[in-house]
Amino acid sequence: MRSKTRTLAMLLLCTLLIAVAAVPACTPGQDTYPSKAITLVCPWGAGGGTDRVARYLADKMSADLGQPVAVVNQTGGNGAVGHNAGALAAADGYTLCITTWEMSILKHMEWSEVSYADVRGVALINKDAAGLMVHPDDAAAHGWKNAMDWINYVKQNPGLQVSGTGAGGVWHVALLGMLAEAGVSVDTVEWLPSTGAAEGITWLLGKHIDAVTCSIVEAGPQIEAGTIIPLATMSANPMPKFPDIPTLKSVGLDWELGAWRGITVPKDTPDEIVEILHASIKKTVDSQDWKDWMSSQGFGQLYLDPAGFDKFMADDYAAAERLLKAGGLIS
C-alpha cells in the first residue's frame, strides 16, 4: 500500500513539474513594449526644421506611449552620423530616427554604406519645399525681388557664398538644380557646408554669407520678423502660409524640390513594435493639435504608413541617383 501511495505521489509530482515547465518564464525581455525610455535620433542641428518636428512629435509620443521619447541630435557627415546611428542601432524599438531626404543620397555620395535598405519605415510625416533666402540689406541694396534678380546678379558677380546644409545635401542640390535650370554654371557660387539650416540661417543673419537655401518653414520666424527676405519657393504652387513668396515657375524657372521627414527603425525591428510605434504616430498626425501646429509653423503635411513609406524611400533612392548625376555630383 505504501509503495502504491509513493508511486502515486511521484506521478503527481512529475505532472506538476511538467506543468510548471510548460509555463513561459517571466523575463525582463518579455515586458510590454515600451518598458523604458526611447531615443529619437535627429541627424541635424538643434533649432532646425527637422529638430523642431522631432521634438514636437516626441512629446506627443511620450504622452501616448507612457515612456519618455528623448530627441538626441547626432550631427555631422552631411547627415551620415545620425542616420548611421539610427539604422545600426539594436532592432528593439528603443532607438528611432527622424530620417530625412539625405538617406536617399548617403550611399550614392559614398558618405556611408547605409541606405533605405537598412531601415524600416514607420511613417512618413512631412514634406517641405526648398526656398532661396537673402539678407534684407542685400535685397535692398541690389534690388532683389525674386530668384531671377538674384541669379542675374550672380552672373555678373560670381563668388557669392551660400549655405543651408552639408555639401550634396538636399538644400545644396536645390541650389544646383535652380542654377542649372537658369543656365548658370554651378561653379558661379561657393557652397559653404553647415550642420543644417539653423546654422546657415545664423550665418546669414550675421551677414557672413550671401544666401541660404533651405525649406521656407525653417526660416519662417525670421521671414515673419523681416530679418530674412525670401526670394523664391521651389514648390509647384504658392505656399498657403506665405502666399506672397514667388515660385520659381512664376519667374520662368521650371524647377522644384522638397525635403521629406519620416520615422524609421533598424530593418530587423519586429512587426509588432513597428505596429505600436506606427499607431502612436498615426494618432498624433490625425490629431487637430498636430495639424494646427504644422500649419502654424508652415510645415507641409504628408503621411504614409509603413508599407507606403518603404516604397517611397526605395523610389526616392532611385530618383536621387538620377538627380545627383544630372547635377554632376556623382558619375
Higher pLDDT, 25 or 320: 320
**pLDDT bracket for residue 168 (50, 70, 90):** confident
Distance, in Å, from the CA atom of 187 to the CA atom of 174, rounded to the nearest integer, reads 14
- The pLDDT assigned to 210 comes to 98
Percent of the chain with pLDDT over 70: 91
Query: For the segment 82-100, what is each residue's pLDDT rounded down to a tens digit?
Result: 999 999 999 999 999 999 9
**Cα 198 from chain centroid (whole Å):** 14
Whether the model pTM is above 0.85 = no
Per residue in 173-219, pLDDT (tens digit) is 899 889 989 999 888 999 999 988 889 999 999 999 999 999 888 89
The CA distance from 125 to 297, in Å, is: 14
What is the average per-residue pLDDT within 10-37? 56
Pairing of β 211-215 and β 119-134:
antiparallel
Alpha-carbon separation of residue 213 from 73, 108, 137, 164, 254 (angstroms): 21, 22, 17, 5, 17
Q: Tens of pLDDT along 267-285?
A: 999 999 999 999 999 999 9
Contact 83, 44 (CB under 8 A): no
Q: Is the pLDDT of residue 19 over 80?
A: no
pLDDT score recorded for residue 30: 52
Classify 129-251 by CATH class: alpha beta
Per-residue pLDDT averaged across 65-89, rounded? 96
pLDDT (tens digit per residue) in 140-153: 999 999 999 999 99
At residue 12, the pLDDT reads: 46
Mind listing the pLDDT tens digit for each residue in 106-140? 999 999 999 999 999 999 999 888 999 999 999 99
What ranges do the domains of the chain cover? 38-128+259-326, 129-251
Q: What is the mean pLDDT of residues 160-181?
A: 90
Residue 17 has a pLDDT of 43
* Whole-number Å distance between alpha carbons of 318 and 108: 10
Peptide bond into 34 cis (omega under 30): yes
Q: What fold, for 38-128+259-326?
A: D-Maltodextrin-Binding Protein; domain 2 (3.40.190)
- Residue 3, helix vs strand vs coil: helix
Q: What is the pLDDT of residue 49?
A: 84
Mean pLDDT for the chain? 89
